[in-house]
Structure 1
Amino acid sequence: MKAGREKARGAWQLSLPLMLMITAASVGPGVARADAQDLPIPCANFEITYAAKPGEVIAPTDIETNKDSFWVFENSGGNLACGGTGPFTCAGLTVTVPEKDVVHPSTAKTTINGTAAALGEQDQFSLTSIDANDVTQTCKGTYLFHVSSNGGGWGDPHLTTVDGLHYDFQSAGEFTALRDDRLEIQTRQTAVPTAKIPITNEHTGIKHCVAVYTALATRVGSSRVTLQPNPNVEESRKGMELRVNGKLVTLTDSGITLKASSGEQGASIGPAAVGGIDGHIKKAADGAIEIVDARGTQVVVTPQFWNGPNVWYLNLKVYQTSATQGTMGIVPEGSWIPALPDGSSLGPKPESIDERYEQLYEKFADAWRVTDATSLFDYASGTNTATFTLDEWPYNSPESCDVPGQTPVQPTTEAVAQAACAAVQDPKEKADCVFDVMITGHEGFGKSYQIMQAFKPIGTGTWYSPEARPTKPPTHQGGWVELLKKWWWLILLLIVGLLLLLRKKK
């Protein structure tokens, strides 16, 4: 009997590592980002992107893919977006794809180099995998290159366009901040009554009242994401409400994956399959929220609660975006503010303050103001985008910055504001922070700026894929690991049967 128990114990001890191996072999892949020199792609359809800054010079960089397959350019089916017969030009970068090399598979690398093109330009090429036996696999790799930049808005909205213009935009309502074929960002701006009339904005030359961002709506591929306060003030104190396609969700440490619900993802880079990945929503430090799309564009929101007026307000930054339209969009040559939706320019800055006000806060604001048909926000019953619009805000040449039915916030001294913003490093953002604290008396702006500057983006020159994938390339030669992956259930049954047999022999 004792000998039987020892045999059973020995069999169990031997089977435990084997079961652990089976479990490990069946665990899904992990990391979604990888360096350009290390892209172990499994044999499955995938898309990875490479973001470059406008005019950035890329040194020759080899893309080493799965060594168990050869990756060759697919010259049929209309998959080529890069021009020429090779090397190919993608968003200003030269892409050299090697010919199939059966004898020396490790030398089959794609090389990129050159100078990135103008902001917003994007291009792609596709490769098809061929294994060591010269058999075409069922996988296709799509490499997307896009020239990108950063933009954002914070505080009493101080905006920085994707091409670097810094200006104030204080209208009250809902507006398109940025958009392109696969991404759109809309912001809700809410008027803030102040006891003091703010100083003149450096770029616009207009003295005006202020507003803050209080809600955000985004379209990420075919997914719609909103971050809004609960209409009930007491409920809203608990936190902002996050919704995906209108459904209230809870953001956990593991984040939320956005799945594509349609194939309409933009003609310039082709449709995504239903059920594919549009992007991810993730937690960042100190309550910040990060929304990443399938091209690696990062939308970072830092919500903070302001006890005085009982409102949530947001700072917003966008990294690695190729979007060029919106209140944060490109400023046409010779224009003093971003382009209108049709791409037209408002021309140079007018001499008259009244004419500047008319262009910025009437023509430009109304052009980018969302409608009920274009809005991405979720609305409570009986409300719509007009509910959040305050006409004529900010007032032109104001004598006061009052809002009917609301108590104005009180200003503070420059010394208090400087202390609250002491840790803000960027000179422009620090000046914005000091302005915000002085005008509103709310020292919490300093904390929100610190949270915003603490976020570390992916950065350009980094490959990104929305798909998690193995950190090791799969092998086509079989072996124990492949056997375990394929037949783990049968092996598990044999182990259980063996244990039962030993138990019976006791």
Structure 2
Amino acid sequence: MPLGLGSGTVTGTGINCTNIVGSDCDETYSASASVTLTATPSAGSSFQGWNVDLDADLSSTPDCTGTTPSCTLTMGVARSVKPVFRLAAGTVNPIPVVNTSAITPEEIEAYLNNPANAATNTVARFISALPAEYRASPILMARSESLQTGTAEHPRLLLSSQTARSVFSIGPAPHASYPGSHPDVIEYMQWDEATKNFRFHEIILTTIPQMGSIPPRSRHIEKDDGKCAACHSTRNVLNLTGIPGTTGFPVGVIKTKNKPNWDPYDSWGGMLPFNRDRLYQGSVDTAAFRKLFNPWTWRTQPEVRRLIEQLRLQPPGRLPAGSPHLITRYRGGPNDGTPRFSFDLTPPVTTEPVPSGTATIATAYAFNAQPGSGALTSVTRGGPSVTLFHDSLISGDEGRGVQLFDLLGGFDGSLNQRRIADELASHRWATGSVFVDPRPVALAITKGCLTINSSLNTVQSSPSGLAVNLPFFTSRNGMGINALRDDTLARTQSIPRRKADIEKLNLSRAGDPYLMTGTTVNGLIPQYGAATSASTDVSLTRLRQEVFRRPIDNPAPDSTVMGGILVDRENYSPNTNLMALYRYFLEPLGVSVDKWSLGVRGRSRAYGFADVFSTYTGALQTGLEANLMADPIPGLAAPFSCASLIPAVNTTLASLPPVGDYPTYTDVQRIFNKACIECHGGLDYPPYKNFGTYLNLAEDQSAPGVNPLTASYAIAAPMATSQTGPLFDRITRTSEDCPNGMMPCGGPPLSQTDVETIRRWIIGGNPSLWGDPHLTTMDGVRYDFQGAGEYVLLRDPGLELQARHTPVQTEQPVGPDPHTGLTACASITTAVAVRVGPHRVSYQMNAEKPELLVLRVDGKPVSLDKELLLPAGGRITSTGTTGGIRIESAGGTRITVTTDWWAHYGLWYMNIDVRQARAREGLLGPIAPGNWLPVLPDGSQLGARPSDLGDRYVGLYEKFGESWRVTKDTSLFDYASGYSPESYTLREWPGYKADSCRIEKAPPGIPVVEPLKAIPLEQAEALCKGVSKERLRDCAQDVAATGDPVFAKTFVTTEKLGRNLAPETLELVTPKENAITSSSVTFEWKDAYDKDGDAVVYRHCVWSVNTRFTYAACTKGVPEQSRTVKLEGGRDYFWKVLAEDGRGGTTESRTWRVTVK
């Protein structure tokens, strides 16, 4: 069998062997025959010699040796011969690098772009061009949760530098379960010292056609490849669009960070070998290693063989002569190429012996996260083993998996620690886009200034004096500090059990959610078990023997349902208390503490660090103190003692937002980025591919100028219309069964802080605009805004609400407003426009007949009886009042427009009430602590309320109001020919300290009418007696200023609509969640009680899981509680039921999934 990157031919009697699969390389001879083989290199290659092997077993004899092209063999025994052909000099050139252990993407880019390196177009050739250290200690992943292929037959290869600052990852063969993975595409993780970040790049060596959802690729290095963020992002995704996403505004002001995925040592489910890099005698791990590193295994797969043959069995020069951990490769005879271990009694070993050890245990654990309840089986523990080492200084028995962990973020390297310190030091925006500086509290925790008082269930400081609003943190965490500590402990203690469960799937892939349905993939036992004493048996007895072979050595047994039979390396004291404190204070401020751990993807939410967390606190202290010296906080200086830190903590955390403050969608997207897009990111690989829907929650980086949040919002919002909706339902389930249990798939669950963030986003706020515009912001602050023109009231990626404020003549101004202190001439709302997903809805007076209101959708007039469905989701309904409408988005936001005809003035005016609002930008946006008005469009804020009334007027109208004024490019309204937003703009309205409210020029279609005589305030209050106490002042001022009681009537009507109670949440009956049914399906549900006593009707909704929900999937409202439907077979469907009271009150059931046979 020819070896090497070159090519050639070996000829002899009956032999004509080339690199081409299927060539004549085998022949049978008589025992007395003598055969001469001749090696002839092809053009561009040279003959290097026979059986050249840097890991050769020197105690065995190859069948051919030397560099002479001819070799004569006597055939008294079976022979195996490997001629080695190398490429001609200059065909594949070494990659020029400054630092062999820290290669930069620019160095690789220059190499690929150089025509002299065009022949480096396969992964084997590229690996040969790397410095030797990358081939010295390969790590094999026989089961991968990556985009790259990782199977027992073709393990994913991790090739690390000596410092782990560069790690190359290779999937040697394509597979249906890993769409997009190609053997000539390399994932490259780079530690970037300048940005203190792990960057992930994709190296494409040759032209790759489209694979699955991944478009065609050409030869280059894709720096900071967006696909990699799906599994490695800690919060924010690199923004290429120029439109603000999770990296803030302006784009990039918030850092993008990524983390490696490498579970805390010292066992790795999916790695070969599983436990502490030990190959135990008699194990399937050992059988697999022998097979994988035997070149003859790959004789029909020459490209894989060219790659594998370059990899060293152990790092050269690291082990002393005679070490029991040396591994060599047997030479000669029928078993040529078989790796040899020190525990082999009669090499070469072709069948692993029965495991022998020093002890036995009995266990009934069934790899299902439940206490063992079946029959106990015996496990032999310990016995001879060999450790696979890393190409760095060897310390004790720490192998290559352990060392990779230590180099990335352990005792031998501080990369991850410094990544976290840099991310934390630069963090300035808490959930809700509220400015915060977490450095003092983080440093106070790190230095032991804050501790848990478990007896009082609180946090205390030393010295005393902590004056932070602890109930805020308790509420945002969804639990107190004791419960959070218990939660942290339980999560971390689950790590050994999770590893064992994953390794079970590595041994036998049956039921593995990370495989495509309909594909067959062998685990280690079916693939290599035939070469073990237990053969291919995958019974629980065999699985337990393989997983639990290692005895409990250091430091302690697990504390899980397994019963203390797997090593747990976590140092719970002081890790647990420290992590609980970091979580308690930092996660509510938006810090991704759940991405500090190196744990693979979601397993970082187990907060595991093994026994190396002391290196994290040291790095955090160094990084935070250095940052505080470079960017100081007044009053806080080195040496940053606890006595100075506690007052700084009090100061920096003094302006926390209200506990119930609503998050932005950007906050929600950050949760998706770090926890969801690994499956729901548009990459279409399992488990999502097997069970998924249209749910792509990734930021849209498709083109410059595209809002990166709009697409994911449009998909997420319909799944989050209530707390019974699919999004909240799935993240709050308790079963970790994947894919039918909690999300993220397989657990651990999201932190309760993230769950609370999503819950508050779903609930939303209740901003409004009533009368002579009295505004109530998202966070409940009321202020008057009498500007004239068109303004943005609310805006987010999925919805925008605009209002037209029309000035009216009154005998006296309105005010003073308690919030602004200003008295101003009045304007009223005469038109509303809304962007609902892709649709544009406007509601305004007819230009020619102002007594008529015109409803338009996407510019076209529509008529409304009771309900109008919007094609992309959402609907418009009548409120049952004169001219009243309700616009409902696909995400459940409801905008109620209550109208009335002001006969004296000859125009319609409107009150706007918004329920379940998620948008935070605009006149109705929340007001951040320390500010008197909502944020401006550019993210800036106006600070505290000025003491001077003139300055307040300028701030309110000339700065804040003007910033949110609609332009011709941003308007959602419909205009008659020749008109635009400017036609309705009157910038001098309202004048400052105006004595009279006169209009010189009215907007189009608006008459100028002499005002009615003002009504005394006391009389106006009497006219508003039907209005609630909360709205009485607003109502009375409007009635008094306009001189017309009609405004009281509108207040009463608006309040009545708002007081309606929706029906209670109904329960579904059948078919159950994930049921399999025939095509004729009878759906049943329970009734729902309405607290107002209204008659309830039910709308049954059923739709394909591959489509987005719209109301078109629902029936009209009926009183019945069942429905039989004929559905197309071979498909999956969602179904739910809406309960409606006919007065705008709607509740939804949970959404269940059903499979139709």
Q: Give the TM-score normalised by structure 2.
A: 0.29
CA–CA distance in structure 2, aligned partners of residues 403 and 484 of structure 1 = 62
Residue 1086 of structure 2 is matched in structure 1 by: none
Asked if structure 2 preserves the Cα contact closer than 8 Å seen for 1:217 and 1:226, the reply is: yes
Query: How many angstroms does 1:484 deviate by?
Result: 8.1
Letter in 2 for 1:309: Y
> Following the alignment from structure 2 to structure 1, what is the Cα–Cα distance between the partners of residues 513 and 947?
56
1:181 alignment partner in structure 2: 797
1:251 is the counterpart of 2:867? no
8 Å contact from structure 2 (residues 1026, 1052) kept in 1: yes
2:843 pairs with 1:202 = no
State the Cα distance separating 1:212 from its structure 2 match: 0.4
- Counting only pairs closer than 5 Å after superposition, residues 70-89 of structure 1 correspond to structure 2 as 85=602
The match for 2:663 is: 119
Unaligned 5+ residue runs, structure 1?
Answer: 1-53, 60-71, 90-114, 129-134, 261-276, 465-469, 488-506
The verdict on how the C-alpha distance between 1:485 and 1:183 changes in structure 2, with shifts beyond 3 A counting, is: same
SS in 2 for 1:450: helix
Q: Is the 8 A contact 1:166 1:203 kept in 2?
A: yes
Given that 2:806 and 2:828 are in contact with CA atoms closer than 8 Å, whether structure 1 keeps it comes out as yes
The whole-number CA distance in structure 1 between the counterparts of 2:933 and 2:1062 is 26
Contact 2:662 2:765 (8 Å CA) reproduced: no
What is the aligned partner in structure 2 of residue 419 from structure 1?
1022
What residue is the counterpart of 1:345 in the other structure? 941
**Distance in structure 2 (CA, Å) of the matches to 1:165 and 1:338:** 10
Counterpart residue identity of residue 448, structure 1: T
In structure 1, the partner of 2:974 is 378
What's the offset of the Cα at 1:57? Answer: 8.9
- The 2-side partners of 1:216 and 1:382 are apart by 20
How is 1:115-264 mapped onto 2 (pairs within 5 angstroms)? 118-120=662-664, 121-122=667-668, 136=690, 139=693, 143-144=726-727, 145=758, 146-147=761-762, 148-232=764-848, 235-237=849-851, 239-253=852-866, 255-260=867-872
Of the three residues 1002, 1013, 1038, the one matched with 1:410 is: 1013
Taking structure 1 as reference, are residues 435 and 480 closer, same or farther at Cα in structure 2, changes over 3 Å only?
Answer: closer
- What displacement does 1:446 show? 1.3
What TM-score, normalized to structure 1?
0.64
Deviation string for 1:213-247 (max 9, x for gaps)? 00000001111000000112xx222x311000000
1:220 partner letter: V
Using the alignment, how far apart are the partners of 1:484 and 1:358 within structure 2? 62
Query: Counterpart amino acid of 1:476?
Result: I
Distance 1:481 1:402, change over 3 A: closer
Letter in 2 for 1:383: Y
SS of the aligned residue for 2:766 comes to strand
Q: Secondary structure at the match of 2:1126?
A: helix
CA change 1:383–1:75 in 2 (3 A) is: farther
Residue of structure 2 equivalent to 1:430: 1032
What is the SS of the residue equivalent to 1:356? helix
Q: Deviations over 1:106-134 (max 9, x none)?
A: xxxxxxxxx97743243565999xxxxxx
1:340 aligned counterpart, secondary structure? coil
Deviations, residues 371-399 of structure 1 (Å, cap 9, x unaligned): 00000000001111011111210011112
Q: What SS does structure 2 have at the residue aligned with 1:366? A: helix
1:460 to partner: Cα distance: 11
Question: Which of 388, 391, 396 matches 2:984?
Answer: 388
The correspondence for 1:473, drawn from 1071, 1076, 1081, is 1071
The residue number in structure 2 matching 1:132 is none
Following superposition, the deviation at residue 457 of structure 1 comes to: 7.8
Between the aligned partners of 2:975 and 2:920, the Cα distance in structure 1 is 27
Match of 1:442 among 1044, 1052, 1055: 1044
| Closer/same/farther in 2, CA of residues 259 and 457 from structure 1, 3 Å limit | farther
Question: In the superposition, relative to structure 1, how do residues 486 and 376 fare at CA in structure 2: closer, same or farther (>3 Å)?
Answer: closer
SS at match of 2:938: coil
Question: Which residue, out of 1083, 1108, 1126, partners 1:485?
Answer: 1126
**Higher mean C-alpha deviation, range 183-192 or range 447-456:** 447-456
In the TM superposition, what whole-angstrom CA distance separates every residue of 1:194-219 from its partner, at most 9, and x where no partner exists? 11233322111112111000000000
Letter in 1 for 2:885: I
Assess if the C-alpha contact under 8 Å between 1:157 and 1:211 holds in 2: yes
CA distance in 2, matches of 1:75, 1:310: 66
Query: Secondary structure at the residue paired with 2:951?
Result: helix
Query: What CA distance in whole angstroms lies between the structure 1 residues aligned with 2:892 and 2:853?
Result: 25
C-alpha separation between the residues in 1 aligned to 2:941 and 2:514?
40
Contact 1:420–1:443 at 8 Å: present in 2 too? yes
Confirm or deny: 8 A CA contact 1:410 1:440 kept in the other structure.
yes
| Residues 395 and 298 of structure 1: CA distance in aligned 2, closer, same or farther (over 3 Å) | same
1:328 aligns with 2:924: yes
% same residue = 34
Alpha-carbon separation, structure 2, partners of 1:208 and 1:484: 60
Contact 1:119 1:149 in 2 (8 A): no
* 1:438 alignment partner, SS class: helix
Q: Deviation at 1:317?
A: 1.0
Distance 1:85 1:462, change over 3 A: farther
Instruction: Out of 474-483 and 401-410, give the one that drifted further.
Output: 474-483
Structure 1 counterpart of 2:1013, one-letter code: Q
| Correspondence for 2:1054 among 429, 448, 452 | 452
Q: 1:460 to 1:182 in 2, by over 3 A?
A: farther
* Change beyond 3 A, Cα 1:476–1:240: same
The answer to whether the 8 A contact 1:320-1:460 is kept is no
Deviations 1:336-393 (A, max 9, x none): 1111111211111112111111111111111000100000000001111011111210
Task: Give distance in 1, aligned partners of 2:847 and 2:818.
Answer: 35
Change (3 A) 1:178 1:74: farther
Structure 2 residue runs without a partner (length 5+): 1-471, 480-510, 517-591, 596-600, 607-658, 681-688, 696-718, 720-725, 728-757, 1001-1007, 1083-1123, 1129-1157
- SS of equivalent to 1:455: helix
Is this contact kept in 1: 2:1079–2:1126, CA < 8 A? no
Deviation of the 1:259 alpha carbon? 1.6
In the superposition, relative to structure 1, how do residues 247 and 140 fare at CA in structure 2: closer, same or farther (>3 Å)?
Answer: closer
Task: Give 3-state SS (helix, strand or coil) of 2:841's partner.
Answer: strand
| 1:285 matches 2:880 | yes
Count of equivalent residues: 364
CA distance in 2, matches of 1:459, 1:153: 21
Structure 2 match to 1:24 = none
Alpha-carbon contact 1:256-1:281 (below 8 Å) kept: yes
Q: CA deviation at 1:416?
A: 3.6
Letter in 1 for 2:1032: K
Match of 1:315 among 899, 911, 917: 911
In 2, the alpha carbon distance for the partners of 1:432 and 1:76 equals: 62
> What CA deviation, in whole Å up to 9, does each residue of 1:79-124 have, x standing for no partner?
xx998627989xxxxxxxxxxxxxxxxxxxxxxxxx9774324356
Q: Name the CA shift for 1:75/1:211 in 2 (closer, same or farther; >3 Å).
A: farther
Q: Which amino acid aligns with 1:281?
A: I
- Distance (Å, rounded) in 1 between the aligned partners of 2:949 and 2:934: 18
Q: Would you say the 8 A contact 1:319–1:457 is kept in 2?
A: no
In 2, are the aligned partners of 1:152 and 1:160 still within 8 Å (CA)? Answer: yes
